[in-house]
A = this chain, B = another copy of it.
Amino acid sequence: MQCARVWRGLNSLCRVGHHRAWKRTQSHTAAARLDLSGIYPPIATPFTAKEDVDYEKLEENLQKYAKIPFKGLVVQGSNGEYPYLTEEERVEVVRAVKQSLGAGKLLMAGSGCESSRATVQLTEKMAAAGADAVLVVTPCFYKGKMDSRALIHHFTKVADSSPVPVVLYSVPANTGLELPLDAVVQLSQHPNILGVKDSGGDITRIGLIVHKTKAQDFQVLAGSAGFLMAAYCVGAVGGVCALANVLGQELCELERLCVSGCWEEARVLQQRLIEPNAAVTRKLGVPALKQAMEWFGFHGGSCRSPLQPLTEAEIQQLRRDFSSNGWL
């Protein structure tokens, strides 16, 4: 593709090497680190009318996702309703996804629990079920006590014992707390902690994480499609985006434009994705994500209670947020 070629030419004029190339040459261990760069949908969990996991519909979704150039899948992220699944269900869904996942695709499994001991145990089960890496959310119930000291202790304990690499996960909209920057920086030095998924959207913080962890080849993933381009701009290497369940091809295209330096084209695409993304996350949540999936040929269906189906007015709002940006 010509754009990328000129981009490389441009960069040499700017006298700074290409970011991802530069990252690859730096590695603080001899062993190769897992390359997380790329786009991941944090897949939704389809349920039957009785609220049981619907493995058939899940499988059909997976077959469609297989045709999209995702780097891999996140299973049991916030959009997978993991807090509503039993531990057994969480592991079983990972096992099911693993069986159907194509070669070369990464499976990142959410294994975070409130206690360190439960997280350690679930992490082991996730690895045994086939996870290539685990995504570990910050414990949050005792949020007043979840300072850097406690969180560093927790993630270190989990990473020490985990058979697979660990990715930190900060999602303040759900947890009510942000993994502090100094904790991220210190944890980035752990050989089994590869990166962070940051869903807070504070781009200054994301830039600073990249800056302060650059000696560690620490990989930052944007946690939402709304700031994906800006995150690439300041040094992120990929994104775990709810919207990728719906507009996966388009998010992979946005990735391609950012990585190859086509920022103008990227901007136009990025802007059209902000409102649909807000609709399926912050504004209307998982029920909206699942509704939009239906419109785009995937199985969404309803959520487990207490998550409620959208009202008619919310469905119309959701439709407007897609249609006014040319997606419906």
Whole-angstrom distance between the alpha carbons of A133 and B270 in the complex?
31
A143-B176, A145-B308 provided; 6 other pairs, C-beta below 8 A?
A: A16-B262, A84-B115, A115-B305, A145-B287, A150-B308, A229-B234
Contacts of A142 in B (CB 8 A): 78, 83, 174, 285-286, 307
**A108 adjacent to chain B (CB < 8 Å):** no
Are the CB atoms of A261 and B115 closer together than 8 Å? Answer: no
**Binding-face segment, A65-73, A95-103, A159-167, A197-205:** A197-205
**A271 adjacent to chain B (CB < 8 Å):** yes
**A274 adjacent to chain B (CB < 8 Å):** yes
Are the CB atoms of A17 and B264 closer together than 8 Å? Answer: yes
- Please report A residues at the B interface, Cβ cutoff 8 Å: 2-3, 6-7, 9-11, 13-19, 51, 78, 83-86, 114-118, 139, 141-146, 149-151, 153-154, 157, 173-176, 201-204, 207-208, 210-211, 224, 226-227, 229-230, 233-235, 257, 261-265, 267-268, 270-272, 274-275, 278, 282, 285-287, 304-308
If A84-B114, A203-B201, A278-B204 touch, does A13 touch B2 (CB 8 Å cutoff)?
yes
Copies of this protein chain in the complex: 4
Among B7, B85, B204, contact of A274 (Cβ-Cβ < 8 Å): B204
Can you give 23 A-B contacts (C-beta < 8 A)? A2-B13, A6-B13, A10-B262, A14-B262, A78-B142, A116-B306, A139-B306, A141-B174, A142-B285, A142-B307, A144-B173, A145-B285, A145-B287, A145-B308, A150-B306, A203-B203, A204-B227, A204-B278, A207-B229, A207-B267, A207-B271, A261-B261, A261-B263
DSSP majority for the A interface?
A: helix
Are the CB atoms of A268 and B16 closer together than 8 Å? Answer: yes
Whole-angstrom distance between the alpha carbons of A300 and B190 in the complex?
33
Contacts of A83 in B (CB 8 A): 114-115, 139, 141-142
Are the CB atoms of B230 and A207 closer together than 8 Å? Answer: yes
Are the CB atoms of A207 and B270 closer together than 8 Å? Answer: yes
Are the CB atoms of A211 and B174 closer together than 8 Å? Answer: no
Are the CB atoms of A274 and B211 closer together than 8 Å? Answer: yes
Are the CB atoms of B144 and A305 closer together than 8 Å? Answer: no
Contacts of A272 in B (CB 8 A): 211
Report A166 CB to chain B, min CB distance, Å: 15
Contacts of A264 in B (CB 8 A): 11, 14, 16-19
Whole-angstrom distance between the alpha carbons of A211 and B269 in the complex?
10
Among B13, B151, B267, contact of A3 (Cβ-Cβ < 8 Å): B13
Report A267 CB to chain B, min CB distance, Å: 6
Q: Which residue from chain B places its CB closest to the CB of A3 in the assembled complex?
A: B13
Whole-angstrom distance between the alpha carbons of A83 and B141 in the complex?
7
Are the CB atoms of B230 and A154 closer together than 8 Å? Answer: no
